[in-house]
Amino acid sequence: MNVLTGFRLVLVALAGLLSSTQVLSQAYPRQTVRIIVPFAPGSSTDTLARAAGLQLAERLGGSVVVENHAGGGGLVGLGMAARATPDGYTLLFTEAGSLVVQPHLRKELPYDPATSYTAIAKVGDVDVFFAAHPGVPANSMKEFIDLARANPDKYTMSNGGTGTTPHIAAEMLTQRANIKVQHVPYKGGGPATTAALGGEVSVVSSGAATIVPLVRAGKLRALGIASPKRRDFASDVPTVAEAGLPDFAASAFFGLFAPAGVPGPVLERLRSEMTVVANSEEFRKRAVAAGLVSDVVIGEDFARLIVRERQKWGEVIRAAGIKRDQ
C-alpha cells in the first residue's frame, strides 16, 4: 500500500468517525432522561432542577423527569447517580455541599467527588438565608445572636442535612458569633423549612430560593442573608456581616452533572443545550425569583471551579472546628 492510499484510508476512517459521532449526538435522546435530585421536594436544589429540566426537555426534544432521592444529607441520591449507567439518560442536579463539603466531613462516601461525575453546567449560586419562626422574639440576626447568647442551647436551627452548605453556614454562625444553638438536620431544605414554619425549630438555615417566598408571605421572619452584599431580590434583608460578623458569606453553587464516562457526543450535546437553557431569559426569571444569583460556567471550567471550592471550604471547616463524621 502506497502513502497516498494510506492517507485516503485515514481520511475515510476520520470521516466515518465524525459521521458516527454526529449520528450519536443527533439520535440522543431516544428515551426519557431522568435528573436525580438528592434532596426532598421543595428544596432549593429541587426548585432549580425542575426549572432547568423543563427547558432542557424542550431543547432536547424529549422527556425529562426529576426524581427526588433524599437521605443522608444527599448521599443516597448521589450514590445512585454515581452507580448509574453513563449513557446520558441519568443525570444529577445538586448543590455545592455534595462535592466540596461532604469530602471534608465523611470518611466514607458512596461516590468519589473528584471522579464519579462529569461536570455539565453550573447555573448559578444561592446564598444561605437565615429565617426565624414568628414566635422567636428577634427581628434581626443581631437580635437573635444576643438572644442566643443569653439563652445557651435554648434555640434550635434546622438545615437540609449534615454536610450541606446551609449546615456548614449555620456551624460557622455559631462559631463566629460565639453562641450555642442545637443544629437539627433534615432530609432537604423543604423539610427543614417546614419544621420552622410549624415551630418545631426556632430558626432555619436554607437556600434563599426556599426561604424568600415564605418571608414575603409573612410566614417566616428574615434574620439575615449570608451574601457579601444585600441582594436585589431581598434588598430589605441585612447581611449577616451587618450583624457584626465581618466577611461572613456562604453560598452554594448549583449545577448539572452526568456519571463519569458518558459518550463525548452526548456530553457535548448536554453542555451545549444547558448553556442555552441557563442563559435563557425564561430560566433566569424563574431562577432569580427563586433566589438564584446567575453565574453560568460550563464543562471543564466548572470542573476546575469545583476543585477550588473544595479547597476553600476545607479551610473553612477546619477553621470552624467542625469534625469529620459528625
Residue with cell 449513557: 87
The answer as to whether 146 is a domain residue is yes
**Together in a domain, 52 and 97:** yes
Radius of gyration of the chain (CA): 22
**Together in a domain, 164 and 223:** yes
Give me the DSSP letters along 155-186: -EEEESSTTSHHHHHHHHHHHHHT---EEEE-
**Together in a domain, 79 and 147:** no
**Together in a domain, 220 and 159:** yes
**Together in a domain, 169 and 309:** no
Per-residue pLDDT at 6: 54
Beta carbons within 10 angstroms of residue 49's beta carbon:
29
> What CATH number does the domain containing 79 carry?
3.40.190.150
Q: List, for the chain, all residue ranges whose pLDDT scores fall below the cut of 50.
A: 9-22, 326
C-alpha cell at 165: 452548605
Per-residue pLDDT at 5: 56
**Together in a domain, 100 and 174:** no
Domain end position, chosen among 243, 263, 286 = 243
Residue with cell 465581618: 246
Domain end position, chosen among 225, 243, 261 = 243
DSSP state of 239: B
Query: Per residue in 70-85, is it b (16+ CB within 10 Å) or e — as a string?
Result: bbbbbbbbbbbbbebe
Distance CA(70)–CA(36), nearest Å, equals 10
The answer as to whether 6 is a domain residue is no
β 117-132/251-259 pair status? antiparallel
**Together in a domain, 97 and 144:** no
The answer as to whether 316 is a domain residue is yes
pLDDT tens-digit readout, 188-244: 888 999 999 999 999 999 988 789 889 999 999 999 999 999 998 889 999 999 999
The answer as to whether 23 is a domain residue is no
The answer as to whether 325 is a domain residue is no
Per-residue pLDDT at 19: 42
Distance CA(230)–CA(49), nearest Å, equals 25
3-state class (DSSP) for residue 227: coil
C-alpha cell at 265: 457526543
Closest CA to 239 of 222, 247, 256, 227: 227
Domain end position, chosen among 243, 264, 296 = 243
Query: Per residue in 118-151, is it b (16+ CB within 10 Å) or e — as a string?
Result: bbbbbbbbbbbbbbbbeebebebbbebbbbbeee
Q: Which domain holds residue 227?
A: 127-243
**Together in a domain, 88 and 188:** no
How many separate domains does the chain show? 2
**Together in a domain, 225 and 284:** no
**Together in a domain, 139 and 231:** yes
The answer as to whether 17 is a domain residue is no
**Together in a domain, 48 and 121:** yes
The answer as to whether 187 is a domain residue is yes
**Together in a domain, 239 and 259:** no
Per-residue pLDDT at 324: 63
Q: Where are the alpha helices (DSSP H) in the chain?
A: 3-27, 44-60, 75-83, 96, 102-105, 141-150, 165-177, 189-197, 208-216, 264-279, 281-289, 299-320
Closest CA to 252 of 203, 312, 183: 312
Per-residue pLDDT at 20: 44
Per-residue pLDDT at 8: 57
> What CATH number does the domain containing 176 carry?
3.40.190.10
Are the C-beta atoms of 264 and 21 separated by less than 8 Å?
yes
The answer as to whether 289 is a domain residue is yes
Please give the angle made by the CA atoms of 115, 117 and 118, to the nearest 5 degrees: 105
